[in-house]
Amino acid sequence: MQKLLASLLAPLAAVAVLAGADAASAQSRIKDIASIEGVRSNQLVGYGLVVGLNGTGDSLRNSPFTRQSLEGMMERLGVNIRDANTNTKNVAAVMVTAELPPFATPGSRIDVNVSTMGDAKSLLGGTLLVTALQGADGQVYAVSQGSIQTGAVSASGGSGSSVTRGVPTAGRIASGATVEQESGFNLANQQQVRLNLRNPDFTTAQRVAAAINQVYPQSALAENGTVIALRAPTQMGMPGFISRIENLAVAVDTPAKVIIDEVNGVIVMGEAVRVSTVAIAQGNLTVSVQETPLVSQPEPFSRGGQTVVVPQSTVNVEEELGRQMRIVGGGTSLSTLVNGLNALGVSPRDMISILQAIKAAGALQADIEVM
């Protein structure tokens, strides 16, 4: 376990040393740390019917909404089946979902996901009929239709045995929807847009604004730790301006944080983690109890004697030696902290307890987040 811990933490210490030696290697492009307000995908949803199933669809007796949908669709096609005793299992009611990408134009194709609503067993071999996909505003933005690919295998026998791999009640149609109208966001007409940092930080926001203003003076202003307002120069449009600034490199500043996953025994520490002067001692106390039953028999020819089992307990207390209290100096970096904890020979579980104890003592200058 100690060797595993050292192998896990050694790369972290190496990263901390390299980051201090070469700050340029820690720089990231603006496009990788920020997003443009308004440039986003939109969720679409629709309700439809899947036909052509091999007896694995909804039972119309148990799924009245499937029957109503089937009757309504057939009436629109000029066929009345309300009086017919229809009990097919080749139809299934489904929900269809998709994401409308930013700047998607009418006629472009997008992927859709199809999921059953009733008691259908599988969508294998089914075909989705024309389904309108609506946005949150209730307008239709795309129309979907096509053959469903489930990527699953399902088989059952007459005795009730079955084998299922994957999820046959959900599938996907690649390029299964056609975009009918745009989302309405026109970036070219925007006089000002805002960049949103994915990890809010005041220092990073100021650095992003400074990097942009160095190339295009008075074009960026950090409003807070998340938002940087952008105004394109008069000689270029907003899309062209964004394409030029999104590749600028910025040194990203990160807060001091320790992430602890107690379930899996994983510890992740950032480069900015520091430890004040503190003394650490760690040792294991092992208590073992061994029960050795003995048989007690009465003397020969004695009266009233009985054979009984007499328990005999042996208790041993062992304390692991060789782990002395060690002092970790003030302002210690991540690499020094890792080396000090490795010198104690602690396991990941013990290290979690040590870090929490150091934090409780006020010597760990970082936030601890337990997952």
Contact yes or no for 233/219 (Cβ under 8 A): yes
Residue 265 reports pLDDT greater than 50? yes
Torsion sign, CA atoms 56, 61, 64, 67: positive
Torsion sign, CA atoms 355, 357, 358, 359: positive
Residue 139 reports pLDDT greater than 80? yes
Produce one character per residue of 251-272: b if its CB has 16 or more CB atoms within 10 Å, e if not.
Answer: ebeeeeebebeeeebebebbbb
Residue with the two structure tokens 């309405």: 184
**Res. 4 pLDDT band, cuts 50 70 90:** very low
The alpha-carbon radius of gyration of the chain (Å, integer) is 34
Cα–Cα distance measured from residue 323 to residue 134, given in angstroms and rounded to the nearest whole number: 65
Torsion sign, CA atoms 51, 55, 59, 61: positive
Q: At 30, which helix (H) or strand (E)?
A: helix 30-33
Q: What is the mean pLDDT of residues 190-211?
A: 92
Which pTM does this prediction carry?
0.66
Cα–Cα distance measured from residue 323 to residue 227, given in angstroms and rounded to the nearest whole number: 50
Q: What is the mean pLDDT of residues 79-97?
A: 85
Residue-range domains of the chain with CATH: 27-39+186-251 (3.30.1360), 42-179 (no CATH), 257-370 (no CATH)
Higher-pLDDT residue of 278 and 366 is: 366
Contact yes or no for 261/37 (Cβ under 8 A): no
Residue with the two structure tokens 């160095």: 214
Residue 38 reports pLDDT greater than 90? no
**Res. 134 pLDDT band, cuts 50 70 90:** very high
**Res. 164 pLDDT band, cuts 50 70 90:** low
Q: What is the mean pLDDT of the chain?
A: 79
Classify 72 in phi/psi space as left (phi over 0), alpha (psi -120 to 50) or beta.
Answer: alpha
**pLDDT tens digit string along 282-327?**
665 454 555 566 766 777 666 666 777 666 656 554 555 545 555 5
Contact yes or no for 147/127 (Cβ under 8 A): yes
Q: What is the mean pLDDT of residues 85-90?
A: 82
Residue with the two structure tokens 């990263």: 15
Residue 128 reports pLDDT greater than 50? yes
Phi, psi of 18 (to 5 degrees): -65, -35
| Cα–Cα distances in angstroms (integers) from residue 187 to residues 30, 34, 99, 239, 294, in the given order | 18, 17, 19, 7, 88
